[in-house]
Amino acid sequence: MTRSDAYPSRVGCDARILPRKDPVLHGSITPTGPLSVDQLESFDRAGFLAIEEFFDDAETLAFRDEATRLRESHAGGRAPEVIIEPGSGEVRSVFAVHRSSAAFRGLARHPRLLAAVVQILASAAYIHQSRINYKPAFRGREFYWHSDFETWHVEDGMPRMRAVSASISLLENNVHNGPLMLVPGSHRHYVSCAGRTPERHYEQSLRQQEYGVPEPDALEELVGQGGLVAPVGAPGSLVLFDCNTMHGSNGNITPWPRSNVFVVYNSVENALEEPFSGQPPRPEHIASRDFTPLEAAG
Amino acid sequence: MTRSDAYPSRVGCDARILPRKDPVLHGSITPTGPLSVDQLESFDRAGFLAIEEFFDDAETLAFRDEATRLRESHAGGRAPEVIIEPGSGEVRSVFAVHRSSAAFRGLARHPRLLAAVVQILASAAYIHQSRINYKPAFRGREFYWHSDFETWHVEDGMPRMRAVSASISLLENNVHNGPLMLVPGSHRHYVSCAGRTPERHYEQSLRQQEYGVPEPDALEELVGQGGLVAPVGAPGSLVLFDCNTMHGSNGNITPWPRSNVFVVYNSVENALEEPFSGQPPRPEHIASRDFTPLEAAG
């Protein structure tokens, strides 16, 4: 019997755009938490929501110091949680920081953040993935366009679209230093990708992705409909975005580095199954299978 | 007897920042041409001047069509005037378009443009270099920070700072598609670079530069003083910038390509000498030695 797959991708067909089968807001639009009705409606419509000064200066500074400490402690190392920039050898990402760092464990369970997530998912949540992204000054590399859900579905077995990502800036994002760009409205379309997933793809893809990459035609269509938005702001700003919102960022030749903490919350009612690629699951530090509901930090 | 060099660079010393020894405006600030006193003072202060809608829609469309025709006629070719993007093989630049194309010969001698140039240089001018830059959608590469004068001095023997560049946009520049970024005030500082120039350096440097690259410390200092500005606007806009203004651009993953025509005007009183690198001069299509004064198109 063939397994049911709501969002087929990399199954040997041509690329195409399929409609989303899941809601974006999984409950009713009621201001039962920190997000207002306007904010919830904006998230529903655009697929993301930017909030400046979500964390105060003291909190942000503590997170930044911790991110610097982690990068330095991993310099030159080869821990599986660490992704190295091709070429320069600099640390590009550190995964599973909500496990390795008390500060980021606290951030991920921050009461106001977690309450906003629960407003969107309308269920308890667990952490699918967390990481710090470091985009260095002068030589920061691009992140090409992608829907996170496409990868999480195909490579991790996330069955449906009921996950939300939180990106917290640790340094200023401005229009020049390669900020996150999102395609408003793209979360309503599933860009099914061509090709098949090779074995142990993640070992390369986290540095430079070759499979699960949307075709230029699909990107032109989505950007033609929705345009592009790059939220900018001071450190401590938050962007919440749907798991299927198309996003990417240009490189950074400016003297201003850019780094952010990224936490992915998945509904406990959307726990991972076997990957739809037919390959073995990715490691725990990239795609957690500990579905214990998160409780807010005390 | 040692040859005098007002702007030594790549002479085997460490990198350092030297003061400019030449004026930015070479005559008096008088509105004897298309540029107003305010515009001249702004150019003097910042090192550049952006003017929207310098060319009208019909002119711009004709230039764009001609640029497309040139790119297509050079696709897959190996003419020396053509620079190919590393990796993709796409045409990145076509040089000496004021010679190969009647449309761009006309653009370079456009009466209003040439009169603005003469206001700045306070002398007759000739064309040191012209080219079209094509920054493709999705995979457009960065241009790292540089002062054009540093290269023109070292590799072409341009003795002093008395040249001005005109960049005319053929497609929209917006904050997302890797627009030209300039460092205001940087034109008053000469960033002398480390190292020495290898032979036939230009064959590589026009694709990816390794010598004549300013150090991070120098860039931090200049950007710390002046910040960054990226003029954006519709096709047909003009940016005039001093030969020594530090500039660069990020890559472009958006679906919006970006291309521009670039014409460099040098004062006839600043004609090229032997290169200060001690190497043979670069070819005529990159650094012209035809110092005949330009006359405005009829």
Q: Write out pLDDT tens, residues B191-205.
A: 998 777 777 777 766
- Banded pLDDT at B1 (limits 50, 70, 90): very low
CATH number of the domain bearing residue A91? 2.60.120.620
Q: Which residues of B touch A88 (CB under 8 A)?
A: none
Residues B281, B288: Cα–Cα separation, whole Å: 10
Interface contact B138-A219, CB threshold 8 A = yes
Residue A37 pLDDT exceeds 70? yes
Say if B14 falls within a structural domain.
Answer: no
Q: Which residues of B touch A223 (CB under 8 A)?
A: 254-255
Q: Note whether A109 and A294 are within 8 A (CB).
A: yes
pLDDT at A298: 78
Strand partners, A167: A239, A262
Cβ contacts below 8 Å, chain A against chain B, sum to 60
Q: What is the CA radius of gyration of chain A?
A: 18
* Mean pLDDT, range B55-65, rounded to an integer: 97
Nearest-Cα residue of chain A relative to residue B222: A255
Interface contact B255-A142, CB threshold 8 A = no
Distance set, CA B254 to CA A227, A247, B68 (Å): 10, 10, 19
Say if A130 falls within a structural domain.
Answer: yes
Q: Note whether A198 and A256 are within 8 A (CB).
A: no
Say if A85 falls within a structural domain.
Answer: yes
Using a CB–CB cutoff of 8 Å, tell me whether B142 touches chain A. Answer: yes
Residue A240 pLDDT exceeds 70? yes
Whole-number mean pLDDT of chain A? 92
- Banded pLDDT at A1 (limits 50, 70, 90): very low
Encode pLDDT of A54-82 as tens digits.
Answer: 999 999 999 999 999 999 998 877 899 99
Q: What residue numbers bound the domain in which A84 lies?
A: 56-270
Say if A288 falls within a structural domain.
Answer: no
Say if B7 falls within a structural domain.
Answer: no
pTM (two decimals) = 0.92
- Banded pLDDT at A243 (limits 50, 70, 90): very high
Judged by CB atoms within 8 Å, which residues 202-221 of B form the interface with A? Answer: 216, 219-220
| A233 three-class SS | strand
Q: How many domains does chain B have?
A: 1
Interface contact B145-A253, CB threshold 8 A = yes
- CB nearest to A252's CB, from B176, B220, B250: B250
Say if B62 falls within a structural domain.
Answer: yes
Nearest one of B216, B192, B213 to B15, comparing CA atoms:
B192
Q: Which residues of A touch B224 (CB under 8 A)?
A: 255
Interface contact A216-B137, CB threshold 8 A = yes
Say if B28 falls within a structural domain.
Answer: no
Say if B277 falls within a structural domain.
Answer: no
- Banded pLDDT at A284 (limits 50, 70, 90): very high
Q: Note whether A32 and A170 are within 8 A (CB).
A: no
Which of the residues B208, B221, B228 would you substitute to probe the A interface, choosing the one with the greatest number of A C-beta atoms within 10 Å? B228
Nearest one of B177, B204, B198, B179 to B86, comparing CA atoms:
B204
